A and B are shown apart, each in its own frame.
Chain A
Amino acid sequence: MALPKRIIKETERLMAEPVPGISAVPHEENLRYFDVTIDGPSSSPYEGGTFKLELFLPDDYPMTPPKVRFLTKIYHPNIDRLGRICLDVLKSNWSPALQIRTILLSIQALLGAPNPDDPLANDVAQRWKEDEKAAIQTAREWTAEHAKKA
């Protein structure tokens, strides 16, 4: 199946004007599959880390949202052990007018503003609520250990 114009355009634009702190590169053999990296936002416990993600555009994209998952281990109340992300725009609030670029920005924003009231990783969220300081400390340690810049 030929790649839809929309995906080609988006990819071109991602290459030509990359978003600061974010990179997304399609695989050569599958142009719907992207290797993504996101830099941890400054003044967050993820600062200084670079997180790897994978992103896949399903057949009916952009009518359905892209599938995104963290590959780097991360301590975050809305991201579970398997790297799955709880984010409204990836689910019910997806709009076909959104793009790869906007989704990745939303994920970066989620790193800067964890939401323990709508948790995916229950244990992390609970710790986050009970002892935020300690939770942030753990997030920092994980970042240092797993998300070091290569």
Chain B
Amino acid sequence: MDSDMNSISSEDDFLDQDSDLSLEQGDADSDFDGDEDGDMMGFESQDKIMKPGRKAYEVEFKVYSPKDIQAYQSKQVTEVSSILGQPPEATAILLRYARWNKERLIESYMDKQEEVLEAAGLSENEGNTSKIKKVKGFSCDICCEDDEDLDTFAMKCGHRYCVDCYKHYLSQKIKDEGEAARIKCPGDDCNRVVDSKSLDLLVSTDLQDSRYQELLTRTYVDDKDNLKWCPAPNCVFAVDCSVKARDLERIVPTVHCNCGHGFCFGCTLNDHQPAPCSLVKRWLKKCEDDSETANWISANTKECPRCNSTIEKNGGCNHMTCRKCRHEFCWMCMGVWSEHGTSWYNCNRFEEKSGSEARDAQAKSRQSLERYLHYYNRYANHEQSAKLDRDIYQKTERKMMSLQTTSGMSWIEVQFLEAASKALQECRQTLKWTYAFAFYLARNNQTMIFEDNQKDLEMAVENLSEMFEKPVDALSDLKVEMMDKTSYCTKRRVILLTDTAENLKAGKGNLLEASEMLELERNSYPWDE
């Protein structure tokens, strides 16, 4: 972890977003646990840390509600406030400025207090404190009102405006522009940040409670590398995980939110184990670009045996003349046309040498494309099947009901169906990504083991899937078998994921070199270079 040490000691990257923010001694510890003494209620019950028996493909994480995050923020503010001797309002601004890196904030604050205050927008000018007052002969620069009894407000920077304008300005920033943590003084070119005390004075409690707090929490989560919002629609939870961006080549950090959504902490896409984020990105891009085109080309075209141009046959005649190189050949046997003699439009010459050579060449040039399609079609198939399984899942509940009435089984006795359905979903998700992963694997023994594991899982899944579609009256007899299969599927999945994760972590993966990957992707482009 020497790179950590470097980033701590250098001052330049004080605000470096990528740098390590959770600097607590053991870096596997997230900011949220450490020395906290359980005074934040609710945390214990949500504790999802896997005990030491954690599997190789699992990572530590915790789920937090917006309330937890708010409480934690204020706790940190109080703590740092007493160390720096700054009021909580200013400390909150400082912490936000330092992107909640306490250690570095304290260190640099001790070093060069003035600079830090200035940069955070807290520099002192005159001694006038932030409060609402009437000033004689005042005219507001924003609205040009100059009534005698106009209420005015200024922060320590001394940029004074009437209270109405100030309020209007703040609520516009909060409501319309979604700013919160770093709203600046309305004065031109003034960097002073509006603190919470001033906000208390000027912004209605309604707006503060709802929108402002929400925005502050959002900024907090966005600022911290170890926190991410759950991407599921309408989900309010954030997940805390200490896996760093630089580890994503070796770890696939799948986390599970309290809302039930499983996603990758690295890229926030749906769970894509065992494939690492970078491959997922590559794969999705590749598929988006080519898959349909590649499929069509594979099904409808052949290549000219001489110049490899892709040719679509658009008439019934087998006598082909390449547009590009004028090569004449037979569509059926791919042999030279002139050898067909007088038996035009009727090719039955499979044995001829020229034809079989041409076909070999064709097969070879199509190999890359076919290889890609092999993986893509299986990937897409599992995606599709998972969707269908999901439909079945919705029917499962009905099945469970009718099973209870027809066979007299109790509610608890039919739960195996739900378990099976869940396992099916999970395994298909994994299988889908094994195919994307395999596209980028080199041919070696490790890959063969991987493929064996993949095959075992796939067979188990298909078996279970088949049973699932049986009529309801047959299901009760299959119960034991289905439970067996369910646990077998789950086991196979664990084995596959553990094996891949261990190899990936140890850095002895069987992944291709980056250049080889690029070549593969290029060669399987469906069109000619």
Contact = CB atoms under 8 A, between A and B. Distances in A.
Given A95-B188, A97-B186, A5 B159 contact: no
Interface residues of A, number: 16
A123 interface: no
Interface string B158-182: 0101000100110010000000000
Interface of A: 4-6, 8-10, 60, 62-64, 93, 95-98, 102
A60 B176 CA distance: 12
Contacts of A64: 172
Nearest to A64: B172
B141 interface: yes
14 contacts: A5-B144, A5-B145, A8-B144, A62-B142, A62-B143, A63-B168, A95-B189, A96-B142, A96-B161, A96-B165, A96-B169, A96-B186, A97-B188, A98-B188
Q: Which 3 A-B pairs have the closest CB atoms?
A: A95-B188, A9-B144, A6-B144
Nearest to B173: A63
Contacts of A62: 142-143
Contacts of A8: 144
Nearest to A62: B142
B187 interface: yes
B163 to A, nearest CB: 14
Given A96-B141, A96-B142, A97-B161, 19 more contacts: A5-B143, A5-B144, A5-B145, A6-B143, A6-B144, A10-B144, A60-B172, A62-B143, A63-B169, A63-B172, A64-B172, A93-B189, A95-B188, A96-B161, A96-B169, A97-B142, A97-B186, A98-B188, A102-B188
Most buried by B among A4, A60, A63, A98: A63
Contacts of A5: 143-145
B142 A6 contact: yes
B494 to A, nearest CB: 51
Interface string B238-249: 000000000000
Interface residues of B, number: 16
A97 B144 CA distance: 10
Nearest to B186: A96
Nearest to A92: B177
Contact of B187 (A6, A10, A63, A97): A97
A4 to B, nearest CB: 7
A26 B96 CA distance: 44
Contacts of B189: 93, 95
A97 B141 contact: yes
Contacts of A97: 141-142, 159, 161, 186-188
Contacts of B144: 5-6, 8-10
A8 B144 CA distance: 9
Interface in B159-218: 159, 161, 165, 168-169, 172, 186-190
A62 B168 CA distance: 10
A64 B145 CA distance: 18
A63 B167 CA distance: 11
Contacts of B186: 95-97
A5 B144 CA distance: 6
Contacts of B168: 63
A120 to B, nearest CB: 22
A6 B140 CA distance: 9
A63 B172 CA distance: 8
Contacts of B169: 63, 96
Contact of A4 (B143, B159, B190): B143
Nearest to B166: A96
A95 B157 CA distance: 15
A60 B337 CA distance: 78
A95 B161 CA distance: 12
Contacts of A9: 144
Nearest to B189: A95
A95 B159 CA distance: 12
A61 to B, nearest CB: 10
Nearest to B187: A97
Contacts of A6: 142-144
Contacts of B172: 60, 63-64
A113 to B, nearest CB: 17
A99 to B, nearest CB: 8
Nearest to B145: A5
Nearest to A63: B172
A5 B141 CA distance: 11
B143 A95 contact: no
A118 to B, nearest CB: 18
